[in-house]
Amino acid sequence: MTRRSQAERSDVTTSRLVAAAQELFGRDGYAATTIGAIAAAAGVTKGAAYHHFLNKATLFREVFVREQEQISAALARAATAEPDTWSGLLQGCRTFLEHCLDPAFRRIVLLDGPAVLGWEAVREIEYEHTLRVLTEGLRAATADGRMVDGELRVRAQLIFGALCEAGMLLARSEDPARALPAVVTEAARLLGSLARDPDEHR
Amino acid sequence: MTRRSQAERSDVTTSRLVAAAQELFGRDGYAATTIGAIAAAAGVTKGAAYHHFLNKATLFREVFVREQEQISAALARAATAEPDTWSGLLQGCRTFLEHCLDPAFRRIVLLDGPAVLGWEAVREIEYEHTLRVLTEGLRAATADGRMVDGELRVRAQLIFGALCEAGMLLARSEDPARALPAVVTEAARLLGSLARDPDEHR
DNA sequence: CCAGTTACATACCCACGGTATGGAAGTGAG
DNA sequence: CTCACTTCCATACCGTGGGTATGTAACTGG
């Protein structure tokens, strides 16, 4: 009984298309991935793809959002598992860096995303996901007295930039597992500038 | 007497092509710029472009290097004009941020560069220019006792990432000139973590 | 002065993003 | 149940643009 409702059929094909797109965009990059290839990988034709998505960039945007949802969930999970706000922040950074070891993630989120969607659009999406988690972590740590006051939006952005760069650096090293401590150390040192001992005031 | 040597003719057309490419890539972005348009703007045809450059990416790479040469020179100039290594570092960062107000610079160096040339290639070029200047600034400040020790290569990379993000943030604000102080303050605060009072040891 | 190279222009190919069209399957009103 | 209408998707097609093949005039070295 392959009799399905329209909504069902539609959902199945769209999610198949997005999944195939995520796979191919992540592996080959945006420019080297054709709509035809995505459709074929999803078991449909170009017509189906253009029925559900306005154009290639729109489909890519969908993939980008998916990627954001996945990592922001992982970040939130990692942070809340920690005993206090400060270590939650550090653990979140570590989790982000580990995520950067995935080539598909780097390709989609760090390399192609800004070029394809534009910086503003990308940061707008990220501010609903990754940047939101980071900003809230900073806010919590500040409210906790573990971090000096400041423009949180700006601060989150700067830290995010440093983390992205760190993730790329890490991924490029021949032995990422061994290089991770050094990168984490430097990152923690940078963050350390913002730390404040909750017991003493200076 | 328009009689020119081969080398002369070649140099003229190549530099014209690069100049036109820099203009168009910076204004419209990599994807929206065609080789034909570049050639036309340079007063030649596609044939000339493909005679001097292997492909579109190669031409873009040339433009990218030019952009790097220009900014790294400006950074070095700004830094050496300062009285001490630490303020030289700060002034260099400020100069970089001001450079980010140029849309063409952002487009070529921050957005399209990594996507087109790949992260490794971009950082390899930058390590010969912008990142070199930054790393040397850090080295000088460290040797001067103004900054705590650390993995300079990694540190430069992290700071660079934060600065790029700061530059984008700045450029997107409705009034960059007014937003600059806040961004500089946050950036300086981040850098402050690495500062060390040269007179006291702890 | 001439063989060989360099510097282009012109003409062409084709891959790929996007559109137009057609038809099969589903849906909702009467 | 039926029939107009919509949704979903395939097929066929178009235009643009990156890249190549070819032709040719100008320069160069012997």
pLDDT score at A201: 42
- The rounded distance, in Å, linking the Cα atoms of B202 and B197 is 9
Q: Give A1 CA → C23 C1' in Å.
A: 22
Partners of A151 on chain B (C-beta within 8 Å) are 182, 185-186
Chunked mean pLDDT (size 10), chain A, 202 residues = 71 97 98 98 98 98 98 96 93 94 98 97 97 95 89 92 95 90 85 67 40
User: Above 70 in pLDDT, residue B198?
Assistant: no
> Which tokens go with B166?
């700061």
Residues of B (31-70) placing their beta carbon closer than 7 angstroms to any atom of strand D are: 33-36, 46-47, 50, 55-57
Q: 3-class SS at A25?
A: helix
pLDDT over 50 at B202, yes or no? no
| Domain B55-192 indexed as CATH 3.40.50.10300 | no
B7 touches strand D (CB under 7 A): yes
The nearest alpha carbon in chain B to A103 belongs to: B119
Q: Could you read off the pLDDT of B61-100 as tens digits, one per residue?
A: 999 999 999 999 999 999 999 999 999 999 999 999 999 9
Superfamily of domain B1-53 in CATH is Homeodomain-like (1.10.10.60)
B134-166: pLDDT as tens digits: 999 999 999 988 888 888 989 999 999 999 999
Position A127: which residue type? Y
Residue B37: pLDDT over 70: yes
Cα angle A68, A71, A72 (rounded to 5 degrees) comes to 80
Q: Do B190 and A193 touch (CB under 8 A)?
A: yes
Q: How far apart are CA B137 and CA B123, in angstroms?
A: 18
Residues 147-176 of A with CB within 7 A of strand D: none
User: According to the model, what pLDDT value does residue B120 have?
Assistant: 94
* Phi/psi of residue A121, nearest 5 degrees: -60, -45
CA distance A1 to chain B (A): 46
Q: What is the mean pLDDT of residues B160-174?
A: 94
Report the residue from B115, B157, B190 with minimal CB separation from A169: B157
Q: Residue B181 has what pLDDT?
A: 84
Nearest CA in chain A to B188: A193
Run of H or E including B37: helix B35-41
Residues from A contacting B (CB-CB < 8 Å) are 29-31, 106, 110-112, 114-116, 118-120, 123, 148, 150-151, 154-155, 157-166, 168-169, 172, 182-183, 185-187, 189-194
∠ CA(B189), CA(B187), CA(B200), 5° rounding? 35
Tokens found for residue A173 = 């090293």
Distance separating alpha carbons of residues B150 and A188, to the nearest angstrom: 12
Which homologous superfamily is A54-192 in?
Tetracycline Repressor, domain 2 (1.10.357.10)
**Ramachandran class of B118: left when φ > 0, alpha when ψ lies in -120 to 50, beta otherwise:** left
What does the pLDDT read at residue B27?
98
Sign of the CA dihedral B105, B106, B111, B114? positive
Q: List the domain boundaries for chain B.
A: 1-53, 55-192
Nucleotides of C under 7 A from a protein CB: 6-11, 15-21, 25-27
User: What pLDDT, on a 0 to 100 scale, did the predictor assign at position B197?
Assistant: 63
- State the nucleotide closest to A10 in CA–C1' terms: D8
pLDDT exceeds 80 at position B195 = no
Of A120, A119, A162, A157, which Cα lies nearest the Cα of A138?
A157
Quote the mean pLDDT of chain B.
92
Find out whether A27 and A18 touch, Cβ atoms under 8 Å: no
According to DSSP, the residues that pair with B195 across neighbouring strands are: B147
What's the rounded Cα separation, in Å, for the pair A186 and A168? 14
In chain A, residues with a C-beta closer than 8 Å to the C-beta of B161 are: 161-166
Amino acid at A190: L
